[in-house]
Amino acid sequence: MYLPTTRQELGELVWDALDVILVTGDSYVDSPFIGASVIGKVLLKAGYRVGIIAQPDVHSDRDISRLGEPALFWGVTGGSIDSMVANYTATKKRKKTDDLTPGGKNDRRPDRAVIVYTNLIKRFFKRTRPIVLGGIEASLRRVAHYDFWSDKIRRSILFDAKADVILYGMAERAVVELADRLREGQDISDIRGLCYIAYEKREGYFELPSYEQVVSDRNAFIDMFHAFYVNNDPLTARGLCQKQDTRYLIQNPPALYLTQRELDEVHEMDFERGQHPFYERQGKVKALETIKFSITTHRGCYGECNFCAIAVHQGRTVRWRSEASIVREAKRLVKHPDFRGYIQDVGGPTANMYGFECEKKLNHGSCQDKRCIYPEICPQMEVDHGKQIRLLRKLRKIKGVKKVFVASGIRYDLLLDDEKHGSEYLEEVVRHHVSGQMKVAPEHVEGHVLDRMGKPGVKSLLAFKRLFNKLTRAARKKQFLTYYLIAAHPGCTERDMRRLKSFASRELGINPEQVQVFTPTPSTYSSLMYYTELDPFTGEEIFVEKDTARKERQKNILIARER
Ligand code: SF4
């Protein structure tokens, strides 16, 4: 079922009121890929009456008051993407399109949506129920953070939005606990995965450098970020506090990860895999084209590319669903009236992290002083693509499935590290699961730039390319690799882009097309480098291109057609 979004639907459900109202910056798409939909369905399953208001008009009470006031709390999210990332390009131009807005025109998601929606609620509902922030925008802006769009370090979004609490990270467990406690009138301040504001520090919690300190001292900002980053594993993290004005942001330790069974249950809830009819009437959303018949196999990532926030939001520990649950989901897709036989993607943040993890990490938490696959793959990480091969074989045997694609990115250094099953996995993918082109994301090839990015070197890229070409030829297929590359990452100069250009034509035989200018998004190591112009691991000063025209020039060097 769809969560209700109008009074009429409440009537049809014979609900006189709602316990929770979710307000989101995306259109309402009922899908396991959309956070607001997942949280709503998890609460529904726990027995709560949940409604959803998508992309409300922010100039009137027309939308926000449509469902009345919730009995327990408001849940506010900017949507699946930080609203500033959704609304602006890396060179700060306004984006014209939005894949999660009806009709695709970018005219419904306000800048800093979390703050705007909180204000909207407060404007029309005085002294209302608690406002709970969640989703990527709130999660990655939960402590002091660099904001590229205002070129400033901003306070926790909880202070700027004047909301009550944040549920950060993947919040299925925490949100039910919050609802239970509010229903029972109990204290909520020790819920894991929750941030709140207090007048005092919390005993036993680690104190981060204050907002004032990090604004005035870039080394303090680096120290703050390191402490924030390492205290993110539920098995080892300490609670954190940070003075912001006269008060403190208190961050409880992260919520415990879902068990495999719980994760299976989340993905097997009865999602409609469509856009709610009320919103569909306003126009279709483009995002459905890619997520409608895709399957998530796992969450979390230990790739830890410095420009990516997945490790901070989902965690460094990969948790995967059972094979049986994924197969059941695929069988349900087959029964969907719109299904035409194609599963568009089977994957997660990195496609080939399914089915294996470091035992030490699972039992005692991730190491705080080293990374799992950078600069080398840790010997404790026993890479094994065996389970993925088995899963893909099962999926393509399901009656009604014509083709299963692996569209999520593959980490080629991991694949090459698996002597037993790596090549077999790639053969499987090449023969059965590629739609003409396979995405890989080397991002750059110059050693010192790759070091700043935390990405593997070119040796593994070239070895992977050779293997891919060999297997493709053997399969008599016409398919090729597409390379995702980044311009103007901290440390990268125009000279580096010229070298990348010549490498691309000489070694890869391409004129790059998939090139992005680096965007310093909140709470990543690369954004920290961008702001401080220091390498946070060595303290070394680094070159950072900050001029918009010269950033574009870096990109243009790479995409220019060769005569
Ligand atoms: S032992 Fe190695 S693989 Fe395991 S958490 Fe530590 S760095 Fe990662």
Asked whether 485 and 442 are in contact (CB, 8 A), the reply is: yes
Contact 157, 137 (CB under 8 A): yes
Helix and strand numbers (H, E) in the chain are: 23, 22
CB of residue 360 inside a 6 A radius of ligand 1: yes
Predicted pLDDT at 405: 97
Q: How far is the CA of 518 from the centre of ligand 1 (A)?
A: 28
Tell how far the Cα of 122 is from the centroid of ligand 1, in angstroms. 46
pLDDT of 563 reads: 60
Closest ligand 1 atom, residue 365 Cα: 5
Q: Kindly state if the Cβ of 361 falls inside 6 Å of ligand 1.
A: yes
Q: Is 366 in the pocket of ligand 1 (CB under 6 A)?
A: yes
For residues 80 and 35, what is the distance between their CA atoms, to the nearest angstrom? 7
Report the chain's C-alpha Rg in angstroms. 23
CA distance 182 to 168: 18
- Residue 370 beta carbon below 6 angstroms from any ligand 1 atom: yes
pLDDT at 131: 98
Phi, psi of 312, deg, nearest 5: -75, -35
Q: Is the CB of 378 under 6 A from ligand 1?
A: yes
* For ligand 1, atom 7: residue with the closest CA: 372
Stretch (H or E) spanning 39: helix 35-45
Give distance in angstroms: CA of 201 to centre of ligand 1: 32
> So what's the pLDDT on residue 168?
98
- Ligand 1 centre to CA of 183 (Å) is 40
Q: What's the sign of the alpha-carbon dihedral 372, 377, 381, 385? A: positive
How far is it, in rounded angstroms, from Cα 545 to Cα 160? Answer: 29
Peptide bond into 375 cis (omega under 30): yes
Residues shown for the chain: 563
Nearest-CA neighbor of 143 among 190, 205, 99? 205
User: Which of 356, 370, 377, 414 to mutate to test ligand 1, by most ligand atoms within 8 A of the CB atom?
Assistant: 370
Which residue, by CA, sits nearest to atom 8 of ligand 1?
372
Q: Is the CB of 358 under 6 A from ligand 1?
A: yes
Rounded-to-integer distance, Cα 75 and Cα 163, Å: 10
Atom of ligand 1 nearest to the CA of 371: 7
For 476, the 3-state DSSP assignment is coil
> Which pLDDT tens digits describe the chain residue by residue (563 residues)?
999 999 999 999 999 999 999 999 999 999 999 999 999 999 999 999 999 999 999 999 999 999 999 999 999 999 999 999 999 999 999 999 999 999 999 999 999 999 999 999 999 999 999 999 999 999 999 999 999 999 999 999 999 999 999 999 999 999 999 999 999 999 999 999 999 999 999 999 999 999 999 999 999 999 999 999 999 999 999 999 999 999 999 999 999 999 999 999 999 999 999 999 999 999 999 999 999 999 999 999 999 999 999 999 999 999 999 999 999 999 999 999 999 999 999 999 999 999 999 999 999 999 999 999 999 999 999 999 999 999 999 999 999 999 999 999 999 999 999 999 999 999 999 999 998 899 899 999 999 999 999 999 999 999 999 999 999 999 999 999 999 999 999 999 999 999 999 999 999 999 998 899 999 999 999 999 999 999 999 999 999 999 999 999 999 999 998 66
367 lines ligand 1 (CB under 6 A): yes
User: What does residue 362 show for φ and ψ, rounded to 5 degrees?
Assistant: -65, -35
Distance between Cα 149 and ligand 1 center (Å):
35
Q: Which of 304, 361, 369, 371 to mutate to test the pocket of ligand 1 (most atoms within 8 A of CB)?
A: 361
Residue 262 one-letter amino acid: E
What is the CB-side half-sphere exposure of residue 92 using CA atoms within 13 A?
Answer: 11
Tell me which residue has its CA closest to atom 5 in ligand 1. Answer: 366
